[in-house]
A and B are shown apart, each in its own frame.
Chain A
Amino acid sequence: MSVVLEAVGLTKTFTLGGGFFGLGAKRTIRAVDDVSFTIGKGRTLCVVGESGCGKTTIGRMILRLTAPSAGSVRLEGEDFTQLRGEELRTRRQRVQMVFQDPAACLNARMTAAEIVAEPLVNFELLDPAGRARRVEQLFDQVGLSRGMMGRLPRNLSGGQRQRLGIARALASSPAVIVADEAVAALDVSIRAQILNLLRDVQRQTGVAYLFISHDLAVVRYIADEIAVMYLGAIVERAPARELFEAPAHPYTRALIASIPATHPRFRKKRAALTGEVPSAAALPSGCRFRARCPLASDICATQSPPMRAIAPGHEVACHNTTTINQGG
């Protein structure tokens, strides 16, 4: 399995405050703290976590919309974080994005065909006739009828707009697509169609997904591998099946327990989390989850748990993993 995207020690800190001419107290927020992962060709890594855990910032750093404070992104073996200017612009054709809000990410003044052709024009791919054929092929691929090519985005439905956004992301044949909450704004019925489309497209083109979501039900459907984030750091990473069957981190277990049951008969006692997410500007000492953790012990207050493997491809950052497995 060849690695197409590798994040090494990605960190993003924001400085708050400073006040009047920098005289006030400054606080540093670690929105993303030393996050590393790899994605193989044609694979899907899902990053899950609640609002504000830094998952969107990871996507933005990979796309170079936000500059990382530390760490690097390697795209097909090349350090994407070091590229500048024209070199960066040209390499962007290898990593594209599908947005959360399909209405907001399309220029309201451009027709559907113009929107899909834009990356081809910008990256100077194909000749004009070839571009026209490629746009038709992309419309077919994402299930949009060719009759819609002349339409403006406002004359398309939400699902059609998202298909258009996917067609645009596919246009330059990228190696990786970052999908940030790509189905969160869609109706449940359309959500399933779009997820199926994303899977079909992956099978046909071998594109890899970094799929960012807060919704484990969606993630379960599309993920090969899952990384669970809490307060800017990955706390558990495992193959999708294993994560759902044998979650090791207490936070992961709480997340999985919070998925609504499909039938009242399957309802079980919820291990709901108590308390609030601590402020990223004032992280607790030791383990960042300990304040809300049912298993917290003395060591959690003093030492930050390192990521360690508990099974092939399954890593967790928890001091009390064995306790969980015995209990589970």
Chain B
Amino acid sequence: MAAPEASMSLANADTPVSVLAALRRRPLFLICVGIVAAFALLALVVPFLPVDPAVLNPLRRLRAPSMLEPFGTDHVGRSVLARTLWGTQISLGVGLAVAALTTLAGVSIGLLAGYIRALDMVLMRVMDAVMAVPAILLAIALVALIGAGPVVIVVAISMPEIPRMARTVRAGVLVLRELAFVEAATICGGRLSTILLRHILPSVAGPVLVQATYVFAAAMILEAILSFLGAGTPPDVASWGNMMAEGRQYLEIAPWILVFPAIALTILVLAINVIGDELRDMLDPESAR
């Protein structure tokens, strides 16, 4: 009796009161949600702020942070603050798009592979093959093959993440498909879509959500790495990876060019990872407090 009750702890948190109470016990989660929300707000309002990432001012290049330029200027005199703020858009946008694409593709593949035995072998061997290629190599190869562009970058970063998501979902489905309530759904005449979407998917939503936050964070780092290597966002776009790549050459005389986007990326990735950890703890009945 204890086991089924415990697995329902997710559903137990369906009243607003218990959700609020649970959140109050997790200040770190709230702080990190606040940080991510602040970055998201910045990304949304930055087009309306009086900051331009593209204005060149060669006379005022490589200036250290000051009252006028809080983050300093880069080697062609562009405002590091303006570029860091605009970079938020790229990082969050890529992260969100990759998380969404990975979840959609990974959940679909995982559900089908886990439930339909005949598809399992084929789908999961393809996933294994994708997993065997290092993520960055695969992304660089795709970008080199098709050419850099927002869609290509998102797809290139998503590809290596999809197998992990598919595996997570498949593992859950393999357990769930044997449970009595899923068999009952079959006996009650449920179509494949009903069984997968109505009876199985809600029970794997927790792990999927957690996995999606990790993908979100990993995607932002991967985007920065790709830009840093020159295989990502075009160099004229203000992305954190591009800024760090350019700042690397001036690290000894103007460290602020590299440091500020790096700090922004670190804080955002850390916050999202902490959210993922906290979500995992909250959704895991074993560690429920």
Contact = CB atoms under 8 A, between A and B. Distances in A.
Contact of A118 (B1, B180, B183, B185): B185
A154 interface: yes
B179 A104 contact: yes
A63 B8 contact: no
A126 to B, nearest CB: 14
Interface in A102-120: 103-109, 118-119
B186 interface: yes
B1 A103 contact: yes
A269 to B, nearest CB: 38
Interface residues of B, number: 23
B4 A93 contact: no
- Most chain A CB within 10 A, of B184, B187, B194, is at B187
A114 B189 CA distance: 14
Given A103-B4, A106-B184, A107-B185, A122 B191 contact: yes
A89 B189 contact: yes
Contact of B5 (A89, A99, A105, A154): A154
A99 to B, nearest CB: 5
Given A99-B184, A168-B184, A108 B190 contact: no
B187 A104 contact: no
A97 interface: yes
B185 A104 contact: no
A65 B182 CA distance: 11
Interface string B172-197: 00000001110111111111001000
Contacts of A107: 181, 184-185, 198-199
A44 to B, nearest CB: 19
10 contacts: A89-B189, A97-B187, A103-B1, A103-B4, A104-B179, A104-B180, A105-B180, A108-B11, A122-B188, A172-B188
Interface of A: 63, 65, 89-90, 92-93, 96-97, 99-101, 103-109, 118-119, 122-123, 152, 154, 165, 168, 172
